[in-house]
Amino acid sequence: MLHDFYTEYKEKLTTPKKAVEVVKSGDWIDYTSCLGKPVLLDRALAKRRDELYDVKIRGNLIAGPIEVAECDEHQAHFTYHSWHCSSYERKLCDRGLCYYIPMVFHNNAAYYEFFLKVNVVMVSVSPMDKHGYFNFSVNTGVAAPITRVADIVIVEVNEHLPKVHGGYDECIHISDVDYIVEGEHEPFVGSKAILPTDTDRKIAEKILPYIVDGATLQLGIGSMPNALGELIAESDIKDLGMHTELCSDAYLSMYKAGKLTNRRKKIDRGKGVFGCAVGSPELYEWVDDNHGIAAYPLEYVNRPGIIAQIDNMVSINSCVSVDLYGQVAAESSGSRQISGTGGQLDFLIGASASHGGKAFICMSSVYKDKNGVYHSRVRPQFDGDIITSPRSQVYFLATEYGVINLEGRSTWERAEGLISIAHPDFREELIREAEKRKIWRRSNRC
């Protein structure tokens, strides 16, 4: 006879207002990530603003609003932090209401295990099953390591969250939960579709020939990966696999076209592996109760040693700019935080070590500022910019003008290659800058 967990459920069930009474001034609170945001608990905690001081909250890739950040512009009561900024959290940073935490995702669990304090974790989960388990859903990548170290665990049952099968740590048992809250939630509207531009499609066309049958893909978020997903869906490539920190609608497009089978993977054969998922309602429906999908913590998904075991692993991410030395800025524009390091370094290292693996960083050759002036994304040399990927780790770089490989290349070879994929209008100027820095071979011709 199965144990009746519903008696324990009723004993731990409380209101959001009562649950947040455990929070004390000076506490560290964690909201985990993505759809794990505890909407009802966040709202209830914000209402306690005037009686609490110096409460610090962590989250990442969370859509707005975050009530504790919005209700206290002076930050005497609440201070919000993000491991990786969503478009909403980026706007909070612009307002001085969010502080970025530098990191690499495969170390996320270790940060909590060895270095960070969590007084209270508040996380949204799917409804409990008959065995007493709540599913972390599309938040599996980060949730379990945080709940393990928290002094107090509060779960918020969200009736709309999909139940996602996992490799491990995709669930939490009721015996490890201190409080449970329920309430009505708005259905997920999904993230706004990022439509590929003509430039995105040109870059994707340059990368497509490097992808072989049976390759496993990691795609970052954004319009260029979406463009690549569309091209692959229309191509003759077959039997692709998924191993990615972030599952997006690009994978759904490939699956619907019959391209994503995961059957040739050497590890997690037959399973599309991800850590977190952000996308459309249709994406969440696809990952729900799907035995062809496995969610894992990012300590597994993003571990370079795991990634390296996957033959023909292809990693595709974006950046803001690159300098002539091959340094990559992918998370900020100057000092303005845009996103985060995320898994770019993890997959650069892992995919480079994979048999047949390749790691691409992509960008348009130019961008237009608010005054309508065009600027080159290939820069002479960074001066104060935040470097996401060091020149020693960068592999392939791609723009709409081509793809270059920087592995094992000298300074002049790097400069020559980068100038060859820069916008033609900026090449002569970049050559002069390379000559000044003595990284332009005298016999070079661009």
- Calculate ∠ Cα 90-39-301, nearest 5°: 65
What is the model's pLDDT at position 443? 73
Please say if the pLDDT value at position 1 is more than 60.
Answer: no
Q: Identify whether the C-beta of residue 365 lies closer than 8 Å to the C-beta of residue 421.
A: yes
Rounded to an integer, what distance in angstroms lies between the CA atom of residue 434 and that of residue 325? 9
Compute how many other C-beta atoms are within 10 angstroms of the C-beta atom of residue 82: 28
Question: Across the chain, how many H-helices and E-strands are there?
Answer: 16, 25
What is the model's pLDDT at position 402? 97
- Calculate ∠ Cα 314-320-323, nearest 5°: 95
Q: How many CA atoms lie within 13 A of 309 on its CB side?
A: 12
What is the model's pLDDT at position 193? 64
Of residues 50 and 224, the one with the higher pLDDT is 50
Predicted confidence band of residue 233 (pLDDT cuts 50, 70, 90): confident
Rounded to an integer, what distance in angstroms lies between the CA atom of residue 358 and that of residue 371? 37
- CA 64 and chain centroid, separation: 17
pLDDT, average across residues 202-212? 93
Rounded to an integer, what distance in angstroms lies between the CA atom of residue 218 and that of residue 216? 7
What is the C-alpha end-to-end distance of the chain, expressed in Å?
76
Q: Does domain 23-181 have CATH number 3.40.1080.10?
A: yes
Span of 323-327, 335-339, 347-351 with lowest mean pLDDT: 335-339
Architecture of the domain spanning 198-436: 3-Layer(aba) Sandwich (3.40)
What is the model's pLDDT at position 331? 87
Q: What is the largest CA-CA distance in the chain?
A: 82
This prediction has a pTM of 0.94
Residue 70's closest CA among 51, 52, 96? 96
Predicted confidence band of residue 65 (pLDDT cuts 50, 70, 90): very high
What is the model's pLDDT at position 445? 60
Rounded to an integer, what distance in angstroms lies between the CA atom of residue 204 and that of residue 411? 27
245 given a catalytic annotation: yes
Q: Identify whether the C-beta of residue 224 lies closer than 8 Å to the C-beta of residue 200.
A: yes
What is the model's pLDDT at position 342? 81
The one-letter amino acid code at 80 reads: Y
What is the model's pLDDT at position 191? 65
Q: Cite the DSSP H helix spans in 36-177.
A: 39-46, 67-70, 87-94, 108-110, 140-149
Residue 218's closest CA among 313, 284, 121? 313
Rounded to an integer, what distance in angstroms lies between the CA atom of residue 299 and that of residue 64? 26
What is the model's pLDDT at position 192? 66
- DSSP-derived 3-state class of residue 142: helix
What is the model's pLDDT at position 190? 67
Predicted confidence band of residue 182 (pLDDT cuts 50, 70, 90): very high
Rounded to an integer, what distance in angstroms lies between the CA atom of residue 424 and that of residue 128? 58
What is the model's pLDDT at position 324? 97
**CA separation (Å) from 82 to 40, 98, 140, 347?**
19, 7, 17, 21
Q: Identify whether the C-beta of residue 255 lies closer than 8 Å to the C-beta of residue 219.
A: no
pLDDT digits (tens, 9 = 90+) for 276-320: 999 889 999 999 999 999 999 999 999 999 999 999 999 999 999
H or E stretch at 420: helix 411-420
Q: Identify whether the C-beta of residue 307 lies closer than 8 Å to the C-beta of residue 347.
A: yes
Rounded to an integer, what distance in angstroms lies between the CA atom of residue 237 and that of residue 188? 33
Please say if the pLDDT value at position 437 is more than 60.
Answer: yes
The segment(s) of the chain belonging to CATH 3.40.1080.20 are: 198-436
Spot the catalytic one: 67, 156, 170, 245. Answer: 245
Phi, psi of 242 (to 5 degrees): -125, 125
Q: Is 26 exposed, middle or buried (0-12, 13-18, 19+ CB in 10 A)?
A: exposed
Rounded to an integer, what distance in angstroms lies between the CA atom of residue 394 and that of residue 321? 13
Q: Identify whether the C-beta of residue 134 lies closer than 8 Å to the C-beta of residue 286.
A: no
